[in-house]
Structure 1
Amino acid sequence: MADSDFPPTFSIPTEHLHISYFQPDDPAHAAFLVQLWNTDDFIQSCGKTGIDNTEKAAKFLRNQVQAGYKRNGHHQFLVSLKPHVGATLSESKPIGIASLMKGEPPNAYSRPDIGYTILPDQSGKGYATEAAASLLEYAQKSLGIDGVFGFCGKDNKRSARVLEKIGLEYRGQRKLKLFGGSESAVYALKGMDQDLKVYGVDDDE
């Protein structure tokens, strides 16, 4: 797929949000990624990424995010808050990321996993749930995705609640190879096979 297949005007609109493609050549997108990924809240949850300036952020968006769009049709999406009902994407302000990610074989499970992170001053308002639910609906209806995982820290109750609200169910804790063997809570979309080995998910033991 060409870059033009991921236009800057594309949006999945929700009641309060716009979910859109990241644009590597948009300085505001790179600056927002630096801001979000260097908040104390994000670092505590996900660790340091090393992306601490806009040049690194733009490179990441081009080499990783855009590559994911081209490979799978999805990756990390920008979440923007509407200032008023019916506001356009260009009027809205970035507040987070909603992601639907699948690695590159052989280092990938057979279904993508959904994730989300919101700026601390906008968290606790339901935006993560709203964004994740809408991205999941888009993935099912427009991309034909029939199964989705959710992974979070075993003690991350806030993320677990979001996963449950959007229709995923708890499948236990596993030491996931793709996450360096760290123990994670595993969620899967209701209706997916109970045997996670079917999807390539297994303990790192």
Structure 2
Amino acid sequence: MPTPSSPILTTTSRLYISLLDPTNPRHSTFLFHCWTTPDFTTSCGPSAFKTPADATQFLTTRVQTLYNTSNYTRGIFLLSLRPHPAATLQESVPIGTMSLMQGTPPDGYLCPDLGFVVLPEQSGRGYATEAGRALVAYACEELGVAGVFGFCEMGNARSRRVLEKIGLEFRGEKELRVFGGKRSAVYALSGMERDLRIYGVDD
């Protein structure tokens, strides 16, 4: 399991997926930049961050709380590029974030959903797919979860392609109760019918 002293969740040949550190100004500055790009605001809506200090506050309260309550196995994580195969985490270059978020039934859901944001200048290189596959494998093999969801707007063709390449199956477009009725494309690993019913997908 990752810890503050050993913050890496998992790796690929090109990437690190690791904990975000609220005491690291580099992380706050990067998160502010990443979550205020046009790609992010188009997909996720207006950013809550006005300054890097807002990102620091978010990391300190929201993200650290998620880590603490899940023993560092759920939350929002840093996606970094390894500049060479033997690069250390300190040498890596931040390029995005990935998340495993989970609610509490009946208002939430039994399995985590996967989220991802990659900087526009790093998109189109397969990083989200590579990291997503690694994080799904980590969730299923290391955390023992029964499945993983993915959600995005129907018109977000790029995110839908990534979810499909990761191995999630399209389950339809639904107005999801847990998101206040917001209409979304629903993706899930096979064998997740119980969780799909919680979301109202099979209503």
The TM-score normalised by the length of structure 2 is 0.91
Q: C-alpha displacement at 1:74, in angstroms? A: 1.0
Contact 2:75/2:101, CA 8 A, preserved across alignment: yes
2:26 to 25, 28, 32: 28
Matched to 2:21, the amino acid is Q
Residues 158-189 of structure 1 deviation map (CA, whole Å, 9 limit, x = unaligned): 11111111111011011113333221000111
Question: What is residue 6 of structure 1 aligned with on the other side?
Answer: 3
Does residue 94 of structure 2 align to residue 97 of structure 1?
Answer: no
1:53 to 34, 51, 54: 51
Question: What is residue 196 of structure 1 aligned with on the other side?
Answer: 196
C-alpha distance in structure 1 between counterparts of 2:16 and 2:180, whole Å: 33
Does residue 88 of structure 2 align to residue 88 of structure 1?
Answer: yes
Question: What is residue 162 of structure 1 aligned with on the other side?
Answer: 162
User: Percent identity at matched positions?
Assistant: 49
Q: Unpaired segments of 5 or more residues in structure 1?
A: none
Contact 1:8/1:20, CA 8 A, preserved across alignment: no
| Equivalences, count | 198
Q: 1:56 to 1:120 in 2, by over 3 A?
A: same
C-alpha distance in structure 1 between counterparts of 2:104 and 2:30, whole Å: 26
Q: C-alpha displacement at 1:49, in angstroms? A: 2.4
Q: 1:8 to 1:126 in 2, by over 3 A?
A: farther
Q: 1:29 to 1:105 in 2, by over 3 A?
A: farther
Runs of 4+ in structure 1 off by over 6 angstroms are none
Q: C-alpha displacement at 1:71, in angstroms? A: 2.2
Q: C-alpha displacement at 1:8, in angstroms? A: 4.9
C-alpha distance in structure 1 between counterparts of 2:148 and 2:177, whole Å: 18
C-alpha distance in structure 1 between counterparts of 2:93 and 2:100, whole Å: 21
Question: What is residue 140 of structure 2 aligned with on the other side?
Answer: 140
Q: C-alpha displacement at 1:98, in angstroms? A: 1.0
Residues 22-74 of structure 1 deviation map (CA, whole Å, 9 limit, x = unaligned): 11111111111100011011111111122121221111112211211222321
2:61 to 60, 63, 70: 63
1:38 to 13, 21, 36: 36
Residues 140-167 of structure 1 deviation map (CA, whole Å, 9 limit, x = unaligned): 1111111111001011111111111111
Tell me how large the CA RMSD over aligned residues is.
1.8
C-alpha distance in structure 1 between counterparts of 2:105 and 2:45, whole Å: 24
Q: C-alpha displacement at 1:110, in angstroms? A: 1.5
C-alpha distance in structure 1 between counterparts of 2:128 and 2:5, whole Å: 22
Question: What is residue 149 of structure 2 aligned with on the other side?
Answer: 149
Contact 1:167/1:190, CA 8 A, preserved across alignment: no
The TM-score normalised by the length of structure 1 is 0.90
Contact 1:8/1:23, CA 8 A, preserved across alignment: no
Matched to 2:3, the amino acid is F
Q: Unpaired segments of 5 or more residues in structure 2?
A: none
Residues 99-144 of structure 1 deviation map (CA, whole Å, 9 limit, x = unaligned): 1111356642111100111000000100000111111111111111
Q: 1:56 to 1:106 in 2, by over 3 A?
A: farther
